[in-house]
Structure 1
Amino acid sequence: MNITRHRYLRLPALAVLIAAAGCSSADGGASAVVPSPDAKVTELCQNLDKALPSTVDGLNREDPEPASALTAGWGNPVIILRCGVERPAEMNDDKADAVEVDGVGWQLQKQENGTFRFTSTLREAYVEVTIPEERAGNGMAPLVDLAPAVKKAIPEGIAS
């Protein structure tokens, strides 16, 4: 088990809007690589899929292809959630940026194409949310909408 410290930016959801200015979208045809976690994490992710909201940031759920209980999407350009992803190597960096949104910790990574990738921390499964550049104007609003489902379905702990 590898536990590292991260610099958390404990900001209220509205104050964090400024932090996420700028993301990029998946292309017009939404697709997502489906993770392949072990059976325990797959079950947690299936529970998360059942708990996910039908709208995120005011956008209707439009899941990417291929259809899977381990992926979900909202809007176009699509906000994509993938559950059961591998632990990002960047989590080993104690200087990595992280935020806490409504009780769920997220590591923040700005991608070269302008998207923001958030990966849940200190949960028994890693949940990744990618917010496209076109959706960045609403900052952390998608994470605010997703936090209750993550808290309900993915227990606190360290993913193996």
Structure 2
Amino acid sequence: MNSSRHRHPARLGLPVLAMSLIAVVGCSSADDGSSAAVPSAGAAAVKLCRNLDEVLPREVDGLSRQDPQPASELTAGWGDAVIILRCGVPQPPKMIDSKVAEGRDADAVAGAVDGVDWLMEKRDGGGYRFTTANRSAYVEVSVSAERADEDTSPILVAFAPAIKKAVPVGVAD
């Protein structure tokens, strides 16, 4: 990867992310009742996710942190479930799909934003799910349909420093 591409914050929307294809071989206090399934992660992933929880931003793309129920160090939210992060999720099946790696899957795209590799999947209902690749634990960021029509790159840019600090490059269990 070209290291100069990672020196400036990216503002990648869906079309630009699709063009930057790469090969690809979910916190704490609860608020008003939004929910997110807590991943069943192994001990190594849980440790990394706890570290991630400590460095996650308080605000993402203008939205304040509002964690979902049940309260967990493996989940976080911003903007009343507009953005949900789950850490320690299983590897998405599309991550090993050769059609995605070759750029032949219209519903999934692989790309990098600020030094973090992501798999982006369109979700039923119009939202997106982004899952980190090439990290020692999988981190999933879901963006609701209400935000999916906007440029989602500031969301991924906001998470990049925390992910790079807490979840090292490697192969997830």
Q: Give the shorter-chain TM-score range.
A: 0.7 to 0.9
Percent identity reads: 53
Distance 2:144 2:10 in 1: 18
**1:19 aligned partner:** 15
- Code of the residue aligned with 1:159 in structure 2: it is A
Distance 1:131 1:37 in 2: 22
Structure 2, unaligned runs of 5 or more:
17-31, 101-108
8 A contact 2:68–2:81 mirrored in 1: no
What are the within-5 Å matches in structure 2 for residues 147-158 of structure 1?
A: 147-158=160-171
1:3-38 alpha-carbon deviations (Å, 9 max, x no partner): xxxxxxx89722x22539xxxxxxx94100000111
**2:77 aligned partner:** 73
**Of the two structures, which has the highest relative contact order with CA contacts closer than 8 Å and spacing of 6 or more?**
1
Aligned CA RMSD, in angstroms, stands at 1.9
- Code of the residue aligned with 2:68 in structure 1: it is P
Distance 1:124 1:141 in 2: 23
- What is the aligned counterpart of 2:159 among 137, 146, 152? 146
Which portions of structure 1, spanning 4 or more consecutive aligned residues, are displaced by more than 3 angstroms?
Answer: none
Structure 1, unaligned runs of 5 or more:
1-9, 21-27
- What is the aligned counterpart of 1:102 among 114, 118, 122? 114
- Code of the residue aligned with 2:120 in structure 1: it is L
Matched, 1:36 2:49: no
Distance 2:15 2:57 in 1: 24
8 A contact 1:30–1:78 mirrored in 2: no
**2:86 aligned partner:** 82
